[in-house]
Amino acid sequence: MPSPTETAPLHLQTDILVIGAGGAGMMAALAAAGQGARVLLVDRALIGRGGATVMAQMTVAVALGSELPDSIAAHFNDTIAAGRGLCDPRLADIVTRDGPAAIEQLDAWHVGWARHPDGRIRQAHAPGHDKARCVYVDFLNTGPAVSKTLRAQLQRHENLITRAGDLMITDLVTADNAALGAVGFALSDGRPVSIAAKATIIATGGLTRLYRRNSASLNMSGDGYALALRAGAKLIDMEFVQFFPIGHLAPRMIGMDPIMWDPFRYKLGGRLLNSEGRAFLADYGESADAGYVTTRDQATFAILKEVEAGRGSPAGGAWLSFRHIPEEELRAAFGPVIERLAANGIDLTQQDIEVAPIAHYHMGGIQVTPGLLTAVDDLFAAGEAIGGSNGANRLSGNAITEALVFGEHTGRAAAARAATRQVRWSDAAAAAALARVAATGPARADIAALVVELQALMADKVGPFRNEAGLREALARIGTMREQIGDTPPGQPGPYDMARIDWFDLRTMLLVAQTVASAALSRTESRGAHQREDFPAMDQDWTVNQVISLHGDELEIVTAPVPVLERAA
């Protein structure tokens, strides 16, 4: 049992606080340090080993033109088209315009992009792109390689970047609509921690842990969205949750990413088949001779509709077949992955595997300006924590591009802001948050069981297909769960107390789930990743963004026109 001395609050001070140490957070820290700012990079996991980037085994979209002639304008146009009219073109412009420089920077840092014998960086053709545009590191190693490269760069800036893992941030601290820093606790001993910062960056990733089947790290609970919303920032496009269409379903596969199949499908032409053995994507709009170009929302729709029609695979998905590919081509494409599959009892020359949609990415998030500043002064966001740039559906390959580009921009912007600021900490403003992380109390409910129940509720009622009755049922149950857990975490501060950690997680998850379900109920149309069974058509009157703010305990949702990109004549 920790003594009172061991749990006395620890107060830290820095120029820039970066919350989240995935690709966007690490890039933001490096960019800020490059401007001479002192950075505290915190994460509830190990630095650079949690979040989505390290798990992203596939490709990074960028208009390098090393494979085929390409242009930034073409990448921008594909991004906008995938977003179904809801992208903030100012943000999409930043991503596509500065993507090549980010890839070249990683190349200079020796990330190991796959290359042709003549030295050109290889680029693959991913769904939704008009040409081969996606760079990668061979054999499902892109995300881990990017994360390892960024971690190595962090070590080169140890004089300016302080890293703190196993630190759970629970609340931002604000005064006069400005961010002063944050409050949280150390997972190792439960000790409350407060951090004063001249500028704060949220880079905590998405919310896919809300769903029963997901490709996320355990810490992808929507932390940044809840932190920002409670602090006075606004959220945008929260109804748009992207489901990766061909997440592994069966047979059982251990130690491999459930979304690993996509690059091999578009590299080799893997076929999606229904229970009749028939390729079915052409029934949902894909040209039979166009190759693998179906965007993720369309493929998800097609697979689930086949299952709904009784033409699904035994486990409730679709068959993915590579049996028409010669074995030597499979081995050349999969490399050492073939042996890992064999260890799992999978022989692609003899059997098909079952795949089904899995929660993968969130298009919505914190609303920011083109300078990546939120509605709260001195509070910035980066990476998947940002909403708006992807509209109703993210283009394949844009996630790591966004993490790198937005991380770089945010780090520079925060450093410039910090250079004009003094630390403005307020003990009074932090008091309620500190009291919460130090509080002790009895367990009012089985928190772990409620997390599982919420994940099932979101999958069944707020998943790829929605309707009014299901959404209202979800919102009612979310409200009941909030009452069940109360306002005080169970137990008392101590080392790795999972009941307390789960309570803070569920507090966040319930608020974020409410924003998703509420926005989905409000949008009475089907568009991109948001599909309403009771409103199956896209409605041009809904070519607007939904913006959410929190007033006390009540959410307010308003519509806003999609921003316009004003280019110089």
Tens digits of per-residue pLDDT, 245-257? 899 999 998 877 7
Q: What confidence score (pLDDT) does residue 357 get?
A: 93
Q: Is the pLDDT of residue 7 over 80?
A: no
User: What band does 55 get if pLDDT is binned at 50, 70 and 90?
Assistant: confident
Query: Does 387 fall in a domain?
Result: no
Q: What confidence score (pLDDT) does residue 216 get?
A: 76
Query: Does 352 fall in a domain?
Result: yes
Residues 210 and 214: their CA atoms lie apart, in Å, by 8
Query: Does 153 fall in a domain?
Result: no
Q: What confidence score (pLDDT) does residue 2 get?
A: 44
Residues 560 and 236: their CA atoms lie apart, in Å, by 10
How many CA atoms, within 13 angstroms, populate the side-chain half-sphere of residue 490? 18
Q: What is the dihedral of CA 160, 165, 168, 171, to 10 degrees?
A: 10
How many CA atoms, within 13 angstroms, populate the side-chain half-sphere of residue 167? 25
Q: What confidence score (pLDDT) does residue 1 get?
A: 39
Q: Is the pLDDT of residue 122 over 80?
A: yes
Q: Is the pLDDT of residue 79 over 90?
A: yes
Q: Are residues 458 and 349 in the same domain?
A: no
Instruction: Assign 292 to helix, strand or coil.
Output: coil
Q: What confidence score (pLDDT) does residue 441 get?
A: 84
Residues 206 and 50: their CA atoms lie apart, in Å, by 12
Task: Name the pTM for this structure.
Answer: 0.93
Q: Is the pLDDT of residue 287 over 60?
A: no
Q: What is the mean pLDDT of residues 150-173?
A: 96
Residues 236 and 225: their CA atoms lie apart, in Å, by 10
Evaluated on CA atoms 142, 223, 155, 401, the torsion sign reads positive
Q: Are residues 557 and 442 in the same domain?
A: yes
Are the C-beta atoms of 282 and 272 separated by less than 8 Å?
no
Q: Is the pLDDT of residue 320 over 80?
A: yes
DSSP 466-482: E-HHHHHHHHHHHHHHH
The domain boundary residue, chosen from 357, 387, 405:
357
If DSSP states are collapsed to H, E and C, what string results for 519-564?
HHHHCCCCECCEEECCECCCCHHHCEEEEEEEECCEEEEEEEECCC
Query: Does 428 fall in a domain?
Result: no
Q: What confidence score (pLDDT) does residue 404 get?
A: 97
Q: What confidence score (pLDDT) does residue 285 get?
A: 75
Query: Does 482 fall in a domain?
Result: yes
Best mean pLDDT range from 1-5, 205-209, 283-287: 205-209
Residue 483: how many CB atoms within 10 A of its CB?
Answer: 9
Alpha-helix runs per DSSP H in 314-397: 327-334, 337-343
Q: Is the pLDDT of residue 286 over 80?
A: no
Q: What confidence score (pLDDT) does residue 569 get?
A: 41
Q: Hey, what are 105's tokens?
A: 């920077």
pLDDT, mean over the chain: 92
Q: What is the mean pLDDT of residues 392-416?
A: 96
Query: Does 310 fall in a domain?
Result: yes
CATH number of the domain bearing residue 456: 1.20.58.100
Residues 370 and 91: their CA atoms lie apart, in Å, by 6
Residues 303 and 466: their CA atoms lie apart, in Å, by 16
195: nearest Cα among 221, 177, 169: 169
**CA distance from start to end of the chain:** 67
Q: What is the mean pLDDT of residues 28-51?
A: 92
Q: What confidence score (pLDDT) does residue 262 get?
A: 78
CA-derived radius of gyration, the chain: 23
Residue for token pair 């069944």: 460
The domain boundary residue, chosen from 335, 357, 379:
357
Q: Are residues 258 and 353 in the same domain?
A: yes
The domain boundary residue, chosen from 357, 390, 421:
357
Q: What confidence score (pLDDT) does residue 257 get?
A: 78
Query: Does 330 fall in a domain?
Result: yes
Q: What is the dihedral of CA 527, 531, 537, 542, to 10 degrees?
A: -40
Q: Are residues 544 and 445 in the same domain?
A: yes
Number of domains present in the structure of the chain: 2
Residue 262: give the domain boundaries: 247-357
Are the C-beta atoms of 269 and 296 separated by less than 8 Å?
no
Query: Does 489 fall in a domain?
Result: yes
Amino acid at 538: M
Amino acid at 482: R
User: What band does 4 get if pLDDT is binned at 50, 70 and 90?
Assistant: very low
Q: How far, in whole angstroms, is CA 42 from its chain's centroid?
A: 17
Q: Is the pLDDT of residue 526 over 50?
A: yes
Residues 179 and 424: their CA atoms lie apart, in Å, by 9
Q: Is the pLDDT of residue 265 over 90?
A: no
Q: Hey, what are 289's tokens?
A: 């001779």
123-145 residue pLDDT tens: 988 888 999 999 999 767 888 89
Residues 287 and 337: their CA atoms lie apart, in Å, by 30
Q: Is the pLDDT of residue 5 over 70?
A: no
CATH number of the domain bearing residue 319: 3.90.700.10
Instruction: Assign 58 to helix, strand or coil.
Output: coil
Residues 404 and 563: their CA atoms lie apart, in Å, by 23
